[in-house]
Structures are given as C-alpha cells and as structure tokens.
Amino acid sequence: MKTYIIKIRPYSSISNFPSSDTLFGAFCWGIRYIYTESELVGMLDKFYHHKNSFILSSCFPMLSKNNYQIYFFPTPCLPDITPDETDELAQKYETKFNKGKKYSMVKVMEELKKLKKVEFVSEKIFSEIINGKMDMRRLSENYYAEGCFPEKKTSFTPENLGGRIKLLGKFLLNSEEYLNFFGKEKRPPSLIKSEIIQKNLIDRFTMSTSGAGELYYSSEIFLNPLVKLYFLVRTNNIDYFKPVLRWLSDTGIGGDRTSGRNQYEISDNIKEMKLPESLSPNCFINLSRFLPKKNEIDFSKKPLFYNLLPYRSKVESSVFRDVDIWKKRIIYFKEGSIFPLKEKKFFYGELKDIKEIKKKKIKQNGLTIPVFGKIGELNG
C-alpha cells in the first residue's frame, strides 16, 4: 500500500480538525453517493482484503507560504522528566536567568508546562523523537539559548529565547524552520484561534428563542491564512477516491455543514509521501484514533505511553430517521500514543461493529496508520 498526502484549506471556521473516524465516515458516504450502496457494503464486509480498502490518518496542520511548507505531526506521548531532572535544569539555567535559583526553578517549570501542552511538532522534530535523539529533557534543553538574556528582553518569546526549539502556541518547530518560514518578518499573533460563538435555536412554531427555542454556545476554530490542514490516505488505488474527494469539497466534512462551517477546498494535487521512521524500531506511533484488535498490542512490554479518549458519535440522521442515532460509547487511543512493536504492518486496529439499525451493521473506524520509531533509548 502507498501513502498519499491530501491537503485541505477551510473556507471559514471549523468545529475542530477532522479526525480519522470523521474522515472515514465522510469517505464512506462519498463512496455510497459516487458509486453505489452495495459497493460500499461489499467493501466494508471484506475490508481487510478488498482491492480498494483505505486507511486514513487524522487531520494535522501545516504551515505554507511561497511553496515552502512545514508539516506537523501529533506530539508523541513522551514520558515526563523527573523531579531530579527538573532541578538539574533549574541549576543549569540559574546563571542564564540571573535572578537566583528560585526564579530559575519557577521559569523552568512554567516552560515545561507549556511544552507538555504542545499538540503538534514539526516533521524534523518528530523525526528526531522517533529516532531516539530527542526526549522531554532534551526538548527542554534545546528550548533555551546559550548565554544570558539581555536585561531589556524580559518577554519569553521565540525571538528572545533564541534556542534551537521554537514554541508557537500549539506548534513546536526548530530554529531553522522558524527562520526559513518567518525570516525577519513579525510572526502572526496567533496561528490558531478558538472562539465561543453565541447562537440561537429557534422554535419553529413561535419563530423565536422562547418555548422550545434557546440560546446556546459553540466553539469555533479560525486558522491563520498561513495554516492549512492535511491528512494521509494509505491505499493501493488512489484514483478510486479522487471523485470522492471532489464530492467532499462540495459537501464538506463533519457536522454543521449546512450552516457554513466545516467546508473545505481539497487540493487535487495528490502526491505520495514517505513517512519518517527509525531503521531499528522498537515501537510505533499512531496517526489515527486507534482501536486495537485483541492481542494486537502486548501491554506488558515497553515502551508504552498513551492518552485515552472516551468517545460517542452519532449515525447520519439524514439517512437513519426515527431511530436512536447515538452509537455505543467507546474509548480510543489518541493520536501520538506509543505502543511496543510486536509485528510491522501497514496498518493496525479494526473496524468495530458498534450498532445495528434495520439489519444494517454500523461500524466504527479504529484503524491507524503507524509510524515506526525508537523511543526510550537516546542516541547521539
């Protein structure tokens, strides 16, 4: 199977970055609409061996300007640094901050908290992590510049810190990427902005928010023009999905499509992408929401670091009417989790039968594209 990159650009605000299960559902409805329902059912019934089977990653951000692009991956779920290592960092940078040991400890802990909240790392940093050249301690050490800060520069911004690692909100990239992309330009104040928007639910009988109507609030995400999104498709037949992608560019991806949100321009410039990987892996990192098969993961082995996501989704209400639209609750392994390597495969996980409506089986996508890495053994 080959891996292809699909670039998308939202026309307006979005609810969130489309996850692998949302994309899988969108692809399935596209196959049903472009081809036939029997085509879709036949594919799902024999998915693991079907000629047109496909595995999807979740959507991740990318920075794009003047044909220069920086792709971001989910931050691997690395173990935290120990209290002793934190104390060592504070002592190391005491002369840098030049305000005493207590101040140094406070600033180091503040910055460590910021690093822990990073959601996306650039491809170069991701490659260093999965090749055993970077962990949380080394990320922290590379975050600061050599030498002391000038007294006038009290703001802890990427420009002032001057280290090899640059932190921009949810993004982490190295100084070379930062310089190549932003140069001497003033960087934008925010690459991703989230706002709470007030909306009205109208009672169709009174045509007001009284009665069954109400006010409610929803979160919307706005992307800086420099930010686009991409996801990966692993398949043997990418041409089969090109009409589906054109259909999705007309209909949107995810919920609230009829209200103007979650509409995307989908690039038809589809290319193969080689994922970074270690030559001597001991684990894999998932790029999709993951539901492992029974005995697929040995949870007694290491390295094993993960985050869980309790999740409950709905079936397509426009197709299944007058039924309970809620699927069963499941627990996903979030993107960026790390699992011990038992066997190298093109994909891991399963399509799980989660509900049955009118003799039709509803499946939940838990398949993931893996990246093979070496975690826990630092090199270099």
pLDDT along the chain (380 residues), means of 10: 95 92 94 93 90 95 92 94 87 76 84 87 94 86 57 47 75 87 75 81 66 70 93 96 95 80 90 94 96 94 94 76 81 96 94 84 93 80
pLDDT of residue 67: 85
Helix (H, G, I), strand (E, B) or coil at 69: strand
Kindly compute the dihedral angle of the four CA atoms of residues 222, 223, 228, 230, in this order, to the nearest 10 degrees: -50
Helix (H, G, I), strand (E, B) or coil at 366: coil
pLDDT of residue 153: 46
Q: How far apart are CA 306 and CA 289, in angstroms?
A: 11
Residues 6+ positions from 213 with CB-CB distance below 8 Å: 200, 201, 202, 203, 206
Q: How far apart are CA 344 and CA 275, in angstroms?
A: 14
Please compute, for residue 332, the number of CA atoms within 13 A of its CA located in the half-sphere on the CB side: 23
Q: Are 233 and 1 in contact (CB under 8 A)?
A: no
Q: How far apart are CA 370 and CA 172, in angstroms?
A: 21
Helix (H) or strand (E) segment spanning residue 112? helix 101-116
Residues 6+ positions from 208 with CB-CB distance below 8 Å: 202
Residues 6+ positions from 82 with CB-CB distance below 8 Å: none
Q: How far apart are CA 308 and CA 297, in angstroms?
A: 15
What does the block give as tokens for 43? 């594919």
Backbone CA torsion sign across 188, 194, 198, 203? positive
The DSSP line for 269-309 is --EE-PPP--SS-SEEEESS-B-PPTTSS-TTSS--B--EE
Read off the amino acid at residue 113: K
Helix (H) or strand (E) segment spanning residue 44? helix 37-45
- DSSP β-bridge partners for residue 331: 310
Each domain of the chain, given as residue ranges in start order, spans 79-124+134-182, 192-223
Q: Which residues of 237-265 are buried (b: 16+ CB within 10 A; e: fewer)?
A: ebebbeebbebbbebbbbeeeeeebbbbe
Phi, psi for residue 129 in degrees, rounded to 5: -65, -45
Q: pTM score > 0.85 for this model?
A: yes
Q: How far apart are CA 259 and CA 342, in angstroms?
A: 45
What Å distances lie between residue 333 and 22, 77, 225, 320, CA to CA?
Answer: 15, 11, 31, 28
pLDDT of residue 317: 64
Q: How far apart are CA 373 and CA 133, in angstroms?
A: 11
